[in-house]
A and B are shown apart, each in its own frame.
Chain A
Amino acid sequence: MTDPPVTTEWEPVVGLEVHCELLTDTKLFCGCRNAFGDEPNTNVCAVCLGLPGSLPVLNRQAVEFAMRIGAALHCEVRPSLFHRKNYFYPDMPKDYQVSQYDRPINVGGWLELADSTRIGVTRAHMEEDTGKTTHVGESGRIHGADHSLVDYNRAGVPLVEIVSEPDVRSAEQAKSYVNELRAILFAIGASDARMEEGSLRIDANISVRPAGRAAFGTRAEIKNLNSVRSLARAVDYEIARQVELLEAGGTVVQETRHWDEDAGRTSSMRSKEEAFDYRYFPEPDLVPLDPDAEWQAKVKSTLADLPGDRRTRLGALAGMAPADVAVLVELDLDDLVTKAIDGGADPRLAVNRAANEVAGHVGPLGIDPVSFTTVLQMEADGRLTATQAKQVIAEVLAAGGDPVAIAAERGFEALASDALTAAVDEAIAAHPAEAARLRDGEQKLNGFFVGKVMAATGGKADGKAVIALLRQRTG
C-alpha cells in the first residue's frame, strides 16, 4: 500500500489595481467636458488630441478628488510628479500617457472591509485616461478585426489608480474590497464608480503559494474585468489554473492574461511586440505638485462620512458587529435606523425590520424615521404582531401615511394585550388536561394553545405574545 499523495495547501495571493474616473466637469489637462456617452470626438481639443504645440494644465478639482481618495484610504499625501509613460497605441493621442510614476500623490494607506479585515493600499496616483477603440470586422473584437476606429472623448479624462497590497486571499474578499472601494469613492463624490460605464476598471494580480510560505509565487495580471462578478470568477479560475499547473509540475509565467467572460477563462495576452519599455521620464510640460498642510486639511474637512465609520457607529448603537449592519449602510438605511433607535425603538428590532422589510423595497421610501419608530414601538408593545408590523411597514413604504391610522383601518388594534390575555385564559380554561401537561413541562403543547388562540382571534394574535402569556399563566 502506498501513502496517499501529499496534497499541498495553496494560498492565493491577490493584489488589485483599480482605475477610477473622477467626477470632474472637465478633463485632467484641458477644459473639454468629462462626460460619458456623448457623440464621438465632440469633447476634444488641441490638448487632449495631442495636437502639435498644445500644452497641459492640471485640473485643480482632479487633484482635490485624488487627495480625498487618499484621505479616505488613510494614505499620506506626498509631493508628487507626473511622468510620461511612452508607448504607441492609437487610443493615446500623444503616444505617451501622463501618469504619476515613482512619486505618486498618495502612498501607504489601507481599506477596511466590513468584516474588519484591512487591505493595504500601496498607492493611489493620478493619470490620464485613453480614448476608446472600436474594432470593426466580423468578430467585433480586436482579434481578427479588419480595422479599428478611435474616439478621443475619453482621452485625458482624469483617473486615479488605486493599487492594493497583495493582501487579498480569495475571490470573495476581492469582491468585498472592490465593493467597499466603490462605496467609498461614491460616498466622497470622487467617482460614480460605475463599472458598466467603464468609470471603474479592475486589473487583478494573482499568484498562489504553498500555505505558510512567505515568498510570493509568480503572478499573472488579469485584465478586462468588467464587473465585480467577473472579478470573482476570474480570481477563482486563475487560482485553480495556477494550482493545477503547479501540481502538474509546471511553472506559472509572469504575464498579462485576458479574462474571457463568455468562455469563463483567462488566456495569455502576449504581445507581438517585444517586452514593453515605457521609457518613463518626468513630464517637462507640468510642474511638481506639493500640497501644503493647509490645502490638505481643507480637502480632508470636506470628506463625507465613510461607509466604515457609519458601520462602526451603527453597530455600536445597535450593540451589533459592524459586519451585521453592513447592508444597512450599503443601502443608506443607517440614518433611518439610527433615528428610530434614538427615538426609543428597540435596536435589534429596528435593524431587523430595516434589513428585511425596508431594504427590499423598490422605489422611493415612503417611510420616515418618525413613522418607522412608531411601527417598531407598536410591535414591541404587542399592539401589532410581527406579521402585522411588516404589513404596516410595507404600506407606509409604498404610499406613506400614519402607521397608527393604517393599523386601525385594518383592525389590527383589536388585539391589544387585554383581549389577548382573555383569549389565552379562555383557552386554558377550556382545555384543563393540556394545560396541566404544559405545566408539567410538555413544551410542545405551546403549539396546541397558540393554535386555539389563533382560531379564537381569527389569526390576529402574535404567536410569541401568546407563548409569553401561556408561560405567565402556567409557569
Chain B
Amino acid sequence: MTAVELARAVRAGEKKARDVIEEHLDRINTTEPEIHAFNLLLADEARAAADEIDHAVANGVDPGPLAGVPIALKDNLCTRGIPTTCSSKILDGWCPPYDATTVTKVRAAGAVAIGKTNLDEFAMGSSTENSAFGPTKNPRDATKVPGGSSGGSAAAVAAGFAPLALGSDTGGSIRQPAALCGVVGVKPTYGLVSRYGLVAFASSLDQIGPMTATVGDAALLLEVIAGHDAADSTSIPGPGPSLVGGLNDGVEGLRIGVLAELAEGVDTDVAARLAEAAAALEAQGAKVGEASVPSATLGLSAYYLIAPAEASSNLARYDGVRYGLRVDGPDITSMYGATRAAGFGPEVKRRIMLGTYALSAGYYDAYYGQAQRVRTLIIRDFEAAYADYDLLLAPVTPSTAFSLGAKTADPLTMYLSDVCTIPSNLAGHPAISVPFGDDSQGLPIGIQLLAPALGEATMFRAAATLERAAG
C-alpha cells in the first residue's frame, strides 16, 4: 500500500496505525540484517506513536494527512532525545535537545518515525560506504551500493521498511540513491523546506526532501514539509505549493527539453531509458526538444570547491568541547587535533582538507570565488533554457548501482558520478528522480526532471506522467 492509501485507511478507521507499524517492523526484522538501512530503529517509540494515532482516530480526531504512515528519517535530522549520529563517530552519544522542523511537521501530520537511517558520514559520499557504522546494501541487489548519501533512506523505502523517508540532497544525495534503489526522490527548491535541524554539510546547497515509493507519496510528503520557517533565514516566505491535486493533469502542451550536456557520456542502458522517457512524455502531448545548459558540466568542479569549503567551516564545531567525542590531550590544540582525527572518517577529512585549502589565503579567488561565479553562470544558463522550456529532462546518474567497494579507492571517480545532479543544487532549483525501467542486469534506472525555482507543481505533473508510462 502507498502512503496515500495507508493514511486514508488509518484516518477512516479501516486500518489500525499499530498494525501498519507491526507489518513494517516484521519486514524490517526479516531483511534489515542484510540491508542495514538503519542506524537506529525506533520500534517502541513507533508503537507508542501509532497507539496514540489509533486513539485519536477512535476519538474522532483526525491525526493528519500522513496518519499512521511509517517514516524513516535520515540520521542527520535532529530528533529530540534520540541519538543523531550523521553516521560519524564524532557525534558519539550526542542527543539533540530539539527536533528538526521537518521532523516536527511530519509528526504533526500523523507520520510515525520508525528509525534513523544510515548515510555517508555527514552526507559526504555517493554510496553510503562512508558510514562509521558500515555500508547499507542495495535491496535490489545486496552486492551493490544503494547510492548515497541518503542510501539508508532509499534502501528503507525500496525494501518496504517504510513507505516514506526523508533524505537530504546537497549534490544529489536524495536523487542518486533514489535512482539506484528504484524509488522516487525529490530535491526541492532551495528554501522551500526548512533546514532547521538538518545537520549542515554545505549550507548553501543542502535541502531536505522526500524519498518514497511513488510520485503521489512524494507529493503528499513534500506538501507536509514545505513552507516558511522563521527559524531558517533562508526559508522562502509563504506557504508551500499544492502538488497532489495536479498529479493527474498530464503534460499536454508542456515544453520539455532534454538536457544535452548531461545526456552525454552515460551508459547505453541509461541513454536508452532517457530516450524512452522523452518519447513517453511526447506521446502524452509534451513538446520535447533538446535544451542546452553549457556551464552545467562545470558544476562538478564548482561543487567540489563550494561544498567542501562550507563543510570545512560547518564541521569545525566538532572539537570535543561541548558534545560528542573527545580524545584528550595535554593542551587544547592537541585535544582538537586528536579528537577530529579519531572522530572523522577519511572522506570527511578529505573534504575538510579540500575546503580548508580552497578558502585559505591566496587560493580563495581562484577556487572558492571562482566557483561562486560559475554558480552565477549556471543560473544564467538555466534561465536561458527555461525561456524555451518548462522542464528539463536528464539522467540522474551516468550508470546504475555499482558494486560495493568499486569506487572507494578513487575519490575523484566517485565524485564524477554526481555530475547530473549537482547543477540543480548550485542553482537552487528543484529536481526529481523517477524510476523508469531497469538496465540489462535488472538494476533500476532513474530519470530526472528539472524545473526552475518553485516549479515543483509542474515538475510533479510530468513526474506522475513518467511514472504512469513506466508502468
A and B touching (C-beta < 8 Å)? yes
> CA of A55 to CA of B230 in the docked complex: distance in angstroms?
10
Q: Say if the beta carbon of B303 comes within 8 Å of chain A.
A: no
Residue among B202, B230, B316 with most chain A CB within 10 A? B316
Interface set, chain B 296-336, CB cutoff 8 A to A: 309-310, 312-313, 316-317, 319, 321-323, 332-333, 336
Interface set, chain A 257-302, CB cutoff 8 A to B: 272-273, 277, 279-281, 284-287
Q: Say if the beta carbon of B231 comes within 8 Å of chain A.
A: yes
A285 near B233: Cβ-Cβ < 8 Å: yes
Q: Say if the beta carbon of B200 comes within 8 Å of chain A.
A: yes
A88 near B98: Cβ-Cβ < 8 Å: no
B 246-277 to A, binary, CB cutoff 8 A, 1 in contact else 0: 00000000000000000000000000000000
State the Cβ distance, B371 to closest chain A Cβ, in Å: 11
Q: Say if the beta carbon of B197 comes within 8 Å of chain A.
A: yes
A49 near B322: Cβ-Cβ < 8 Å: yes
State the Cβ distance, B367 to closest chain A Cβ, in Å: 11
State the Cβ distance, B454 to closest chain A Cβ, in Å: 17
Which A-chain residue is minimally distant from B194 (CB atoms)? A55
> CA of A280 to CA of B358 in the docked complex: distance in angstroms?
11
B231 near A55: Cβ-Cβ < 8 Å: yes
Which residue of B96, B204, B310, B321 is within 8 Å of A53 (Cβ)?
Answer: B96
B233 near A93: Cβ-Cβ < 8 Å: no
A46-B97, A55-B232, A285-B234 given; A86·B84 CB < 8 A: no
> CA of A286 to CA of B235 in the docked complex: distance in angstroms?
10
Instruction: Find chain A residues with CB under 8 A from B77 CB.
Output: 53
B 179-214 to A, binary, CB cutoff 8 A, 1 in contact else 0: 000000000000000011111101110000000000
A 83-113 to B, binary, CB cutoff 8 A, 1 in contact else 0: 0101010100111100000000000000000
Instruction: Find chain B residues with CB under 8 A from A90 CB.
Output: 319, 321, 332
Q: Say if the beta carbon of A56 comes within 8 Å of chain B.
A: yes
Q: Say if the beta carbon of B91 comes within 8 Å of chain A.
A: yes
Q: Say if the beta carbon of A380 comes within 8 Å of chain B.
A: no
State the Cβ distance, B93 to closest chain A Cβ, in Å: 13
Which residue of A55, A96, A148, A273 is within 8 Å of B313 (Cβ)?
Answer: A96
Size bracket of the B interface: 35 or more
A86 near B359: Cβ-Cβ < 8 Å: yes
Which A-chain residue is minimally distant from B235 (CB atoms)? A55
Q: Say if the beta carbon of A317 comes within 8 Å of chain B.
A: no
> CA of A56 to CA of B364 in the docked complex: distance in angstroms?
25
Which residue of A88, A148, A284, A285 is within 8 Å of B336 (Cβ)?
Answer: A88
Q: Say if the beta carbon of B361 comes within 8 Å of chain A.
A: yes
Number of interface residues of A (CB under 8 A): 31
A52-B200, A53-B196, A279-B359 given; A96·B322 CB < 8 A: no
State the Cβ distance, B206 to closest chain A Cβ, in Å: 9
Which A-chain residue is minimally distant from B310 (CB atoms)? A284
Instruction: Find chain B residues with CB under 8 A from A285 CB.
Output: 200, 203, 233-234
Q: Say if the beta carbon of B368 comes within 8 Å of chain A.
A: yes
> CA of A425 to CA of B317 in the docked complex: distance in angstroms?
91
A88 near B230: Cβ-Cβ < 8 Å: no
Q: Say if the beta carbon of A188 comes within 8 Å of chain B.
A: no
Q: Say if the beta carbon of A58 comes within 8 Å of chain B.
A: yes
Q: Say if the beta carbon of B31 comes within 8 Å of chain A.
A: no
Which B-chain residue is minimally distant from A52 (CB atoms)? B199
Q: Say if the beta carbon of A50 comes within 8 Å of chain B.
A: yes
A 38-72 to B, binary, CB cutoff 8 A, 1 in contact else 0: 00000000100111111111100000000000000
B230 near A94: Cβ-Cβ < 8 Å: no
Q: Say if the beta carbon of A359 comes within 8 Å of chain B.
A: no
Q: Say if the beta carbon of B356 comes within 8 Å of chain A.
A: yes
A54-B196, A277-B361 given; A46·B98 CB < 8 A: yes
Instruction: Find chain A residues with CB under 8 A from B204 CB.
Output: 284
Instruction: Find chain B residues with CB under 8 A from A273 CB.
Output: 333
State the Cβ distance, A247 to closest chain B Cβ, in Å: 35
A-B pairs with beta carbons under 8 Å apart, 14 shown: A46-B98, A53-B78, A53-B96, A53-B198, A54-B196, A57-B231, A57-B233, A88-B316, A90-B321, A93-B322, A96-B313, A284-B234, A285-B200, A285-B234
- Chain A positions within 8 Å of B, measured between CB atoms, are 46, 49-58, 84, 86, 88, 90, 93-96, 148, 150, 272-273, 277, 279-281, 284-287
